[in-house]
Amino acid sequence: MSFQMERRGISDRALDIADRVETFVRNTVAPFERDPRLGSHGPAEELSHELKALARAEGLMTPHILDDGGHLTQRETAAVLIRSGLSPLGPLAVHTCAPDEGNMFLLGKVASPELQAQFLPRMVSGEIRSAFFMTEPAEDGGAGSDPSMMQTTCKLDGNHWVINGRKTYITGADGAGMGIIMAKADAGACMFLVDLPHPAVRIERVMDTIDSSMPGGHAVVNIDDLRLPADQMLGEAGEGFKYAQVRLAPARLSHCMRWLGACIRTHEIAVDYTNRRHAFGKPLVDHEGVGFMLAENMMDLKQAELMVYWCADVLDTGARGTVESSMAKVAVSEALMRVADRCVQCMGGQGVTGDTIVEQVFREIRAFRIYDGPTEVHKWSLAKKIKRDWRKAQEAGE
């Protein structure tokens, strides 16, 4: 490997898991990357089950969650998830993919013991996939990057809640076995757990999007008079936005981890190609225009990795890490976009074919700059913090 991944501050146990995940993804998962069961809306369920069975046989299903129910630290999780991302199919195979990874984290932090017992074992084992229902269609005036615009409602009726609304860009809704639905009540935002499929949760369509790595794709969903027992509310009424932040900061960072792994592999492919391919009497890598791009990749990959581990260390202190995860999400997604773009460019015509994963990773990273908050929204949020901090400093000096 031309890129040496971080090993400092990571326990031997976690490094062993990470190394096993890397071997499995490179040797067992990567050969499936040209499988005909890969479609525009993600891997087919049959392929998903096959890959998970292989991971289960190797003892690598959900490897960041330990047999005793414990969880690796965020720094250790980074070592594992980066390696799982070395193939676009890796996170699916070992069950570290979105939205499942973030949903499991949220249930572990917020759900009652009863709800955990009902849903978590099936999720951790890979028996079911999950979906997170938050974003809403723009034509409905609903919530996107601003969740306070939420139009989906929940009303208490006896000992049940009745939920109505529409959601969009819901990753993995098609084929999911459970969902977390966000809706607003008089008390504020609420979250509910629901077994899927459910007749009151109807998929209108699965959208055609630029990315294709997530099973089930991204769906528009109609929720029509969904009745759920009151005990299927996640946490307390009115605390939904707070719970979303519990999930979103680590989930943003997990995206960074997985796609960093994908771009490390993409860089490896470009390095191999440019050393083997000759033009004008020498290997492509010896042409300054190509070699310099690969050198810039090395720097962007290392900076992205350091940003991931810095934010992971913040989360490991118990801090919410909202600001730090925003910074990491912007810095890493933008750096990886540059890496993926250079890999395509270095490989020329070969870089835009499906003969390697380079073209796919380029598409996936372009989407990543939008998912879990577009770059511009995070910058706007950080700029507001800068202004708040300045005002506090001025008031303190008065």
Please report, in tens digits, the pLDDT of each residue of the chain (398 residues total).
Answer: 556 888 888 999 999 999 999 999 999 999 999 999 999 999 999 999 999 999 999 999 999 998 777 889 999 999 999 999 999 999 999 999 999 999 999 999 999 999 999 999 999 999 999 999 999 999 999 988 888 899 999 999 999 999 999 999 999 999 999 999 999 999 999 999 999 999 999 999 999 999 999 999 999 999 999 999 999 999 999 999 999 888 888 999 999 999 999 999 999 999 999 999 999 999 999 999 999 999 999 999 999 999 999 999 999 999 999 999 999 999 999 999 999 999 999 999 999 999 999 999 999 999 999 998 999 999 999 999 999 999 999 998 76
Category of 179 on φ-ψ map: left (φ > 0), alpha (ψ -120 to 50) or beta = beta
Q: Among 208, 149, 135, 216, which Cα is nearest to 363's?
A: 208
Distances (CA, A) of 397 to 390, 391, 392, 393: 11, 10, 9, 6
CA gap 348, 359 in Å, rounded: 11
Tell me the helices (H) and strands (E) count for the chain, helix number first: 11, 11
What per-residue confidence (pLDDT) applies to 331?
A: 98
Fold of 12-124: Butyryl-Coa Dehydrogenase, subunit A; domain 1 (1.10.540)
Are residues 132 and 180 in contact, defined by beta-carbon separation less than 8 angstroms?
yes
**pLDDT at position 398:** 62
pLDDT on residue 204: 98
Q: What is the DSSP string of 68-79?
A: TS-B--HHHHHH
Residue ranges of E strands in 103-235: 130-133, 153-157, 160-171, 178-185, 188-195, 201-207, 218-229
What are the angstrom distances between the C-alpha of 289 and each of 53, 277, 295? 44, 14, 10
> What gap in Å lies between CA 242 and CA 69, rounded to an integer?
24
The count of other CB atoms within 10 Å of the CB of residue 166 is: 19
Q: What's the CATH fold of domain 130-238?
A: Butyryl-CoA Dehydrogenase, subunit A; domain 2 (2.40.110)
Q: Which two tokens stand for residue 147?
A: 């969740």
Q: By the 8 A CB rule, do 263 and 368 touch?
A: no
Q: Looking at the whole model, is its pTM more than 0.85?
A: yes
C-alpha gyration radius of the chain: 21
pLDDT at 69: 74
- Measured CA to CA, the distance from residue 306 to residue 316 in angstroms comes to 15
Q: At the top level of CATH, which class does the domain 241-397 belong to? A: mainly alpha
Q: Which residues contact 229 (CB under 8 A, 6 or more apart)?
A: 159, 160
CATH 2.40.110.10 maps onto the chain at 130-238
Please check whether residue 333 is in contact with residue 258, taking contact to mean a CB–CB distance below 8 angstroms: no
What local confidence, expressed as pLDDT, does residue 248 receive? 85
Going from the C-alpha of 236 to that of each of 158, 217, 243, the distances in angstroms are: 17, 30, 10
